[in-house]
Amino acid sequence: MKRNILCGLVATLLLLTSMSCADSTAGSRYWGKTQPPKENVLRYISGSEPESLDPQIPTGQPEARILMALYDGLVEYHPKTMSPIPAIAESWEISPDGTEFIFYLRKNAKFSNGDPITAKDFVYTFRRGLSPELAAQNAYLAYEIKYAQAYNSREAFVKDKDGNFLLKKDFFEDTKATKPESEKKSSFGPETEFYRFINSPERLTVPLDEKTREAFFKKNPKIKEAVEGKELVPVRAEDIGVEAIDDYTLRLKLALPAPYFLDLLAHQFFRVVNQKTIEKFDKEWTKPENIVTSGAFKLQIHRPYDIIVVVKNPTYWDAENVSLDRIEFYPSEEQNTSMNLYKAGSVDAVYNNTVPAPWIEKIRNFKDEYLDHPAVAIEYYTFNVTKPPMNDIRVRKAFALAVDRFALSKFRKITKPLVDFTPEGIFPRYEAARKKIYSQLLKEYQIPLEEWEKRYFNPAKACQLMREAGYQVRDKENGRCEVLNFPADEVSVTYNTSEGNKAVAEFMQAQWKQNLGITVQLRNMEWKTFLPTRKALDYKGMARAGWVGDYMDPNTFLKLFYGPDNDSSTGWYDPKFDRMLDEANSETDPEKRFELLAKAEFYMLQAQPVIPLQTQATNWMKKPYVKGMYPNPGTLHAWKFVYIERDPAKWDRDVDNIMKESDPIVEEKITRLMQSQIEFEKKKKAGA
Amino acid sequence: MLYFIIRRLLIIIPTALLVVSVTWLLIRLAPGNFYTGEKKLPPAIEENIKKKYGLDKSMGEQYLMMIKNVLSGDFGDSLKYQGQSVNEIIRRHLPYSATIGILAYLLALLIGLTAGILAALKQNSLLDYTSMAIAMLGISIPNFVLGPILVIIFALGLYILPPARWGGISNLVLPVVTLSAIYAAYIARLTRAGMLEVLRSDFIRTARAKGLDEKTVLLRHALRGGIIPVVSFTGPALAHLLAGTVVVEKIFAIPGLGNIFIQSVLNRDEPLILGIVAFLSILIMVFNLLVDISYGFLDPRIRYS
């Protein structure tokens, strides 16, 4: 009898669950409840709880999206392409050599407390972000600004007895390929005292801290000699290349030409903050009762881990064109919870990467809601090139060629195969230039076209390379082989714990087993353990890595390999690559610059310090009535373009085409904003 | 009795210090740091951060500093969430966990005691078997399975309850039920076992022989002894419930302490970890003390000297 009752119970329970599992929405056009909210509000799952609402502190995407609502910068991201469009800067011009920028600010921009926003506020913001005391992790984004890096890392100028400063060019001749500054004919904008200082030849800087300085001198004994007995003058905030010419004119001076720098200025790190508030409340300034912001929305409620409510800011210079009255951000990282809230109609959109992998197959059928578009993000494996066997370039190439990237993409469902280091389908003009350059380089390097085309997967070549590297190789069918005496104990894949990373690692493991007969070990680590391990090259063989572009230019990817102490976590460094990158970035013609960058990319990949695997895709959902919200490559939404459409006839349909279709309401806004810059350029042309 | 309480209270402080010390050591042994990021920090900046947070001092000095903070009850500021003090964070998030925790426990008591008593009275009846079978299910179905099932039925199937988030009373229903299931099940089984044992003892026979009516026998005499196992279970269970139950908080996106605790470890947010650990260890010890005291009232045979 006991058993009967138990059975009955289990059966009832199973029936109940299966009944409800049977999708109530099957066959319907939309997934779950689809009804616009009564008010003019967007409810959005925003990911992890923001580290801070200070735009200069957090580094993550979830924070970036919230901060974009609260703060405005010189420029804003175009909602589709992410290219810069005028924001607080009405217009701008760039000097012919690409190292100077002048921004003309609009006069009606105000903080949320009514204070006007002037060029001085931007000067304060830039200096604050770079101050060593703030120790902002994003400070490196501004290192292109002259003396910014020196100031941020506490360095000093060197002054001799006569009051002259030692110059950088006397010690580092060949690296930075800039023209001598004396050659420049006329000044760019008014010639102020600061301008003369910042445009004088770049001074030498050395670390102020004694320990670091000794280490620096050890590497550069020539400098040590020259510096001895001379006075060290610390680089101050006032020395960096940021200048308020007047209240509404801001001038930036870069150390090197950086054509991509304008794209970078929409980043939250450069969005303007209020000096008075920060100085008054110190670290408490971001509390709802104290905070002063500059964006289209202002903070109303912040209950950590629960909700952040921002409401339309009436003092915002473009307030009349902000459609939403309110945005509610719900910080939740649980994918299933986020999806449940979405399906129940409690939220209108979810942040990127919220659809769990096993759900994708089903969710992608909801064509009006699921957004699968290329992202400016890649996944790759790093090699530890400092340890055998991965110090052998042939072994690295063999491992890279023995992975079927098409199969990997198919397995991952939404990603695209990748063999280069810049994401595919994101920079079309760069890709065109690269194609041209690659065909030239193939001849130069004598690589047969057929072999080149097979670089996505070429087991036969991989086996051949292993043989050339001196391993015993036994051939098998389909070009596969078995490497007999490979030190498999010395090679493992280290990845940070996550379902997705594990799935990819197991896939890779199977590929190498199948194609090379090598079994590599898998090791997973919690994030904060993984990062220092990878950085210190404490891993054997390979480690998992991903990179999301900071701005819309290939340079944000290639830069990872720049400099002896670079962020690639591979141990690979080549001064020739640095020179190639420098040369490319000092080129002012965009077409030629892309070609030079492509050369650098090709050169780096010839050394195979990494295995590029896939271009990531956006993976999120929004209800069809949410309009003006696009799956741009960074999924960074300029909130002032977002609106709620109540007429179902005008709802978004088939969002695979959302980037091609034009929404007159959004287009009109963008055209109006672009007007000031277009007119400025016209006037300039007429003047010239 | 008073002596007993004072002695126990005095033990709490060194025990908490020991727990915090071990935790501190474990954090220090774990690789990574609160400022570990994907980009390398310029050495000067790293030095700067270390100076700012006293990480440049010797381990001994840092340890003493930490102990000093703990003794003063001020754990300092969170390293990850700038400008928020640890005490403020605990104070802010405890009420969420406490609300669902206490409600879940009350619900569990209500269901568990009723089911347990009825099962004991009608031992080997259909009622007994049914309630114990359900209890068995309650114990063996983990809440990360039960929670989503309830969500599927009530939030996504019938659309009568919200699937997650903090808000009105309707938001409380699913997490409270999910959380209480396992406790209700335990309580039912403990009550049943306790009651069965007590009902067979001599003093119950005496009470019945005295001619007391069944209700008095049951509620005045049997229940007091019968629920002692439930009481000893209550101490740690309540502390656990108050401290947040990570899984339920995650499933229902509740901004409770458990969630924060896990995040603090992932963030290597040392002051926050230490603050929560100290708070939890003291909480558990206090609840255990309360449980021990209540024994004296429930069972005349237990006396403290």
* Statement: residue A572 has pLDDT above 90: yes
CB contact under 8 A, A304 and B81: yes
- Closest-CA residue of B relative to A547 is B38
Chain B: closest CA distance from residue A343 (Å)? 7
Strand A349-350, strand A41-45: pairing: parallel
- Lateral strand order in the sheet of A205-207: A205-207, A155-159, A231-234
Choose the closest CB to A286 out of B37, B41, B83: B83
ipTM: 0.88
How confident is the model over A440-459, as a mean pLDDT? 91
Amino acid at B13: I
Which pTM value belongs to this model? 0.89
Chain A: closest CA distance from residue B269 (Å)? 11
Choose the closest CB to A336 out of B41, B92, B148: B148
Residues 522 through 551 of chain A touching chain B, CB cutoff 8 Å = 526-529, 531-533, 535
Say whether residue A132 is in contact with chain B using an 8 A CB cutoff. Answer: yes
Amino acid at B62: Q
pLDDT in tens, A469-494: 999 999 998 889 999 999 999 999 99
In angstroms, the CA A598 to CA A607 distance is 15
> Average pLDDT over chain B, rounded to whole?
88
CB contact under 8 A, A337 and B80: no
Spatial CB neighbours of A488, under 8 Å, sequence gap ≥ 6: A518, A519, A520, A521
Spatial CB neighbours of A4, under 8 Å, sequence gap ≥ 6: none
pLDDT in tens, A507-546: 999 999 999 999 999 999 998 899 989 999 999 999 999 9
How confident is the model over A122-144, as a mean pLDDT? 93
pLDDT in tens, A159-180: 998 889 999 888 876 544 455 4
Q: In a 3-state reduction of DSSP, which class is residue A477?
A: helix
Choose the closest CB to A5 out of B133, B166, B252: B133
Range among A144-148, B42-46, B116-120 rated most confident: A144-148
In angstroms, the CA A292 to CA A285 distance is 8
**Residue recorded with tokens 């690409």:** A98
How confident is the model over A377-406, as a mean pLDDT? 95
Choose the closest CB to A346 out of B42, B165, B259: B165
pLDDT for A19 equals 42
CB contact under 8 A, A24 and B156: yes
Q: How many helices (H) and strands (E) does chain B have?
A: 14, 0
Per-residue confidence band for A27, with pLDDT thresholds at 50, 70 and 90: low
pLDDT for A574 equals 95
In angstroms, the CA B90 to CA A192 distance is 53
Q: In chain A, what percentage of residues exceed pLDDT 70?
A: 94
- Closest-CA residue of A relative to B157 is A20
Spatial CB neighbours of A197, under 8 Å, sequence gap ≥ 6: A239
- In degrees and rounded to multiples of 5, residue B239 shows phi and psi of -60, -45
Q: Which residue out of B27, B35, B38, B56 would a mutagenesis test of the A interface target, given it has the greatest number of A Cβ atoms within 10 Å?
A: B38
- Closest-CA residue of A relative to B82 is A52
A135 CB neighbours in chain B (<8 A) are: 35, 41, 45, 48-49, 52
Cα dihedral across residues A43, A46, A48, A54: positive or negative: negative
CB contact under 8 A, B38 and A567: yes
* Statement: residue A17 has pLDDT above 70: no
**Residue recorded with tokens 């925003």:** A46
**Residue recorded with tokens 């409600």:** B103
B263 CB neighbours in chain A (<8 A) are: 49
CB contact under 8 A, A337 and B250: yes
| Bridge partners, A242 (sequence order) | A252
A341 CB neighbours in chain B (<8 A) are: 163-165, 253
Spatial CB neighbours of A284, under 8 Å, sequence gap ≥ 6: A290, B83
Range among A161-175, A607-621, B51-65 rated most confident: A607-621
Q: Provide DSSP, A113-155.
A: TSPBP-HHHHHHHHHHHH-TTT--GGGGGGTTBTTHHHHHTTE
Say whether residue A140 is in contact with chain B using an 8 A CB cutoff. Answer: yes
A340 CB neighbours in chain B (<8 A) are: 151, 155-156, 163-164
Per-residue confidence band for A188, with pLDDT thresholds at 50, 70 and 90: confident
**Residues present in chain A in total:** 688
Choose the closest CB to A304 out of B36, B255, B268: B255
| Torsion-angle region of B125 (φ positive above 0: left; ψ -120 to 50: alpha; else: beta) | beta
Chain A: closest CA distance from residue B237 (Å)? 25
Residues 400 through 459 of chain A touching chain B, CB cutoff 8 Å = none
pLDDT for B57 equals 85
* Statement: residue A122 has pLDDT above 90: yes
Contact yes or no for B154/B161 (Cβ under 8 A): yes
pLDDT for A174 equals 52
Residues 307 through 336 of chain A touching chain B, CB cutoff 8 Å = 330, 332, 334, 336
| Bridge partners, A370 (sequence order) | A621
Say whether residue A12 is in contact with chain B using an 8 A CB cutoff. Answer: no
How confident is the model over A313-324, as a mean pLDDT? 95
How confident is the model over A644-659, as a mean pLDDT? 94
Q: How many helices (H) and strands (E) does chain A have?
A: 22, 26
* Statement: residue A250 has pLDDT above 50: yes
pLDDT for A589 equals 87
More confident of the two residues A180 and A238: A238
A49 CB neighbours in chain B (<8 A) are: 81, 263
In angstroms, the CA A406 to CA A393 distance is 23
Contact yes or no for B248/B178 (Cβ under 8 A): yes
How confident is the model over A61-86, as a mean pLDDT? 96
* Listed range (A563-577, B44-58, B126-140) with the worst mean pLDDT: B44-58
Q: Which residue out of B156, B249, B266 would a mutagenesis test of the A interface target, given it has the greatest number of A Cβ atoms within 10 Å?
A: B156
In angstroms, the CA A564 to CA A575 distance is 8
Encoding tokens for residue B23? Answer: 């935790």
Choose the closest CB to A209 out of B47, B84, B268: B47
Contact yes or no for A627/A655 (Cβ under 8 A): no
* Statement: residue B185 has pLDDT above 70: yes
Encoding tokens for residue A294? Answer: 């500059």
Contact yes or no for A129/A71 (Cβ under 8 A): no
Encoding tokens for residue A293? Answer: 């912001």
Buried b (16+ CB within 10 A) or exposed e, A647-675: eeeebbeebeebeeeebeebeebbeebee
In angstroms, the CA A213 to CA A339 distance is 53
Q: In chain A, what percentage of residues exceed pLDDT 90?
A: 77
Spatial CB neighbours of A527, under 8 Å, sequence gap ≥ 6: A496, A497, B32, B266
How confident is the model over A556-581, as a mean pLDDT? 93
Say whether residue A287 is in contact with chain B using an 8 A CB cutoff. Answer: yes
* Statement: residue A7 has pLDDT above 60: no
In angstroms, the CA A542 to CA A524 distance is 12
- In degrees and rounded to multiples of 5, residue A280 shows phi and psi of -75, -45
In angstroms, the CA B286 to CA B304 distance is 17
Q: In a 3-state reduction of DSSP, which class is residue A523?
A: strand
> Average pLDDT over chain A, rounded to whole?
91
**Residue recorded with tokens 């360095």:** A155
A-B C-beta contacts closer than 8 Å: 162
How confident is the model over A206-212, as a mean pLDDT? 87
Chain A: closest CA distance from residue B289 (Å)? 33
CB contact under 8 A, B31 and A529: yes
Amino acid at A143: Y
Half-sphere exposure of B152 (CA within 13 A, CB side): 18
Chain A: closest CA distance from residue B26 (Å)? 13
In angstroms, the CA A579 to CA A585 distance is 10
The burial of B107, by beta-carbon neighbours within 10 Å (0-12 exposed, 13-18 middle, 19 or more buried), is given as: middle
Choose the closest CB to B260 out of A154, A305, A531: A305
pLDDT for A182 equals 47
For B167, the enclosing helix (H) or strand (E) is none
Q: Which residue out of B34, B46, B48 would a mutagenesis test of the A interface target, given it has the greatest number of A Cβ atoms within 10 Å?
A: B48
- Lateral strand order in the sheet of A492-496: A416-417, A610-617, A374-383, A541-548, A492-496, A521-525
A51 CB neighbours in chain B (<8 A) are: 80-82
Encoding tokens for residue A327? Answer: 């945005």
Per-residue confidence band for B304, with pLDDT thresholds at 50, 70 and 90: low
**Residues present in chain B in total:** 305
pLDDT for A23 equals 47
Say whether residue A286 is in contact with chain B using an 8 A CB cutoff. Answer: yes
Contact yes or no for A510/A518 (Cβ under 8 A): no
Residue B85: C-alpha distances to residues A137, A283, A321, B79 (Å): 21, 11, 39, 9
Eight-state DSSP code of residue A165:
B
pLDDT for A15 equals 43
B126 CB neighbours in chain A (<8 A) are: 1, 5
- Closest-CA residue of B relative to A215 is B43
B41 CB neighbours in chain A (<8 A) are: 135, 137
More confident of the two residues A384 and B245: A384
Say whether residue A562 is in contact with chain B using an 8 A CB cutoff. Answer: no
CB contact under 8 A, A336 and B259: no
Q: In a 3-state reduction of DSSP, which class is residue A74?
A: coil
pLDDT for B22 equals 95
pLDDT for B74 equals 87
pLDDT for A8 equals 46
Q: Which residue out of B36, B50, B161 would a mutagenesis test of the A interface target, given it has the greatest number of A Cβ atoms within 10 Å?
A: B36
Chain A: closest CA distance from residue B164 (Å)? 7
In angstroms, the CA B269 to CA B288 distance is 29
**Residue recorded with tokens 């996504």:** B156
Buried b (16+ CB within 10 A) or exposed e, B113-122: bebbbbbbbe
Per-residue confidence band for A18, with pLDDT thresholds at 50, 70 and 90: very low
CB contact under 8 A, A529 and B33: no
Residues 182 through 221 of chain A touching chain B, CB cutoff 8 Å = 207-209, 212
Say whether residue A33 is in contact with chain B using an 8 A CB cutoff. Answer: yes
